Structure 1
Amino acid sequence: MPIYFVSKALTGSELNYHPIKKFVYALVITARRLRRYFQAHPIVVLTDQSIRQILYKPETSGRLTKWAIELREHEINLCARSAVKGQILADYQGETTSDMSIVPDLEDVTTLTPELWELYTDAASGLEGAGVVLLLTGPNKEEHTYALRFNFKVTNSEAEYEALLAGLRLAKEIGVKKLQAYVDSQLVANQINGTFDAHDEGMQAYLALAGSLINEFDDFQISQIPRSRNK
């Protein structure tokens, strides 16, 4: 899903750059314009050009060396791009391949697979109300932490389910495909795993709702952990 568009017109000596250098320069310009994104997240660059060889070969010098040093500040993964669908990109390829003599490095093909995220939840219910805390951790150790307070009454078990449901919705919203959930509620963990039955109508409703959300993940596991590990 496109979220940002960056445009840069080449001027002066930039017009005479070799085509592969123009691709590298485009990446440099993008990293500068979207610096906050590049600093906060790992970046995957899909390209049919052998940019990796150009940036990291020992004999690289001049502007390319400067650009390589600048790009190493970020976590950038260069991956081979497969066939592109969509007329706009097809037209763009047609316009730019006429003067290309660079052959893609077929040995540099990387298959992107969903990576595992971890979800920790904790909940509490008392006379003053109920609330939950969520910690969603990505494969690169980035953390998303949330605290929620309920304006409705729930039992401790219901609060634990509400915490899990909130975590599942959050993970789904940011595109997580593989998720390992850790809860300190034995009841919730075992009902989700099918070890315990849900006899209460309220628990049955929570279990059904959790199941519908879990089915939207490619892979999901849930484990009970002691409260000492859930601090």
Structure 2
Amino acid sequence: MLKWALDVGQFDLEYCSRTAIKGQALADFVLEFDSEVENKAIVLTEPSSQGNHSVYVREEFPRPWWILHVDGAVNNNGAGVEIVLITPEGHHLMSAIHFKFYVTNNDAKYEALINGLKIALEVGVVNLIARSDSELVVNQVNGGFQARGPRTELYMRCAQRLLEKFGSARLEGVPREENSNDDALAKMGSQMDSVQLGKIPLGIQEIPSIPEVGVF
């Protein structure tokens, strides 16, 4: 030890005790370099007022936000919807659904939203921003417009109940011109054009979504 002290004595060194790492700094580090791990949490040690024991506190990290784009289309060839679910990392999960039952244009917009919300729940999404170009649907679900007719009211209540199942969720309106790609895919689904859809999954829906949710 004496020899070591003589060797380093020529340098202006000062001993400093190690400082504690703040919990938020460690949490930010884990979030930045471990984005693939779900249900992230960190265990922090807090000093206890009783003796030398420590109290371990588990802090859950904030859940990332997913984005859902939906659109529905009705034409002479039939009706269908398009669903695009975007992960926090920017990956697009796309699907289209063709209806085997009669729907109006507004029904198709509601079916698009309801099916999109169901898919998001199935994959375990907690925080969601849903977007639709239907001003009517957005305002009815958000409480700005009153639903007219029993069928529309059932669709509205169905969408509202699904939104309540998320940790945090909101429905936003987008201009139709910003939804052009979604509208094109929805039209393909309405035509049941599997050639144009390519690798995009195409589902067939036999009955409306309303009875399946039990909102009567």
Q: TM-score, normalised by structure 2?
A: 0.58
Partner of 2:75: 126
Give the number of aligned pairs.
136
More strand by share: 2
Q: Deviations over 1:2-32 (max 9, x none)?
A: xxxxxxxxxxxxxxxxxxxxxxxxxxxxxxx
Question: SS at the partner of 2:117?
Answer: helix
Q: Secondary structure at the match of 1:43?
A: coil
Deviation at 1:44, TM superposition (A): 1.7
- Aligned twin of 2:106: 157
Larger RCO of the pair (alpha carbons < 8 Å, separation 6+)? 2
Aligned to 1:166: 115
Taking the aligned partners of 1:151 and 1:201, their CA distance within structure 2 comes to: 21
Hey, what's the Cα distance between the residues in 2 that align with 1:195 and 1:80?
A: 41
Structure 2 match to 1:217: 166
Take 1:44 and 1:110, find their aligned partners in 2: how far apart are those partners?
A: 15
Deviation for aligned residue 1:110: 7.3
Partner of 1:177: 126
Pair 1:122–1:45, CA change in 2 (3 A): closer
Matches within 5 A, 1:46-85: 80=42
Distance 1:221 1:45 in 2: 22
Q: Give, in whole Å, the separation in 2 of the partners of 1:145 and 1:211.
A: 23
Runs of 4+ that moved beyond 3 A: 79-82
Report the RMSD for the aligned CA atoms in angstroms: 2.5
2:36 corresponds to which residue?
A: 43
Q: 1:181 is matched by which residue type in structure 2?
A: A
Identity %: 35
Runs of 5+ unmatched residues, structure 1: 1-40, 47-76, 83-105
Superposed CA deviations along residues 62-102 of structure 1, whole A, max 9, x for unmatched, are xxxxxxxxxxxxxxx8x6458xxxxxxxxxxxxxxxxxxxx
- The CA deviation at 1:127 is 2.2
Cα deviation, residue 120, structure 1: 0.5
> Secondary structure of 1:228's partner?
helix
| SS across alignment from 2:37 | strand
The equivalent position to 1:192 in structure 2, one of 122, 141, 151, is 141
The Cα shift of 1:43 comes to: 2.1
User: TM-score scaled by structure 1?
Assistant: 0.54
| Structure 2 residue ranges without an equivalent (≥5) | 1-33, 45-55, 181-216
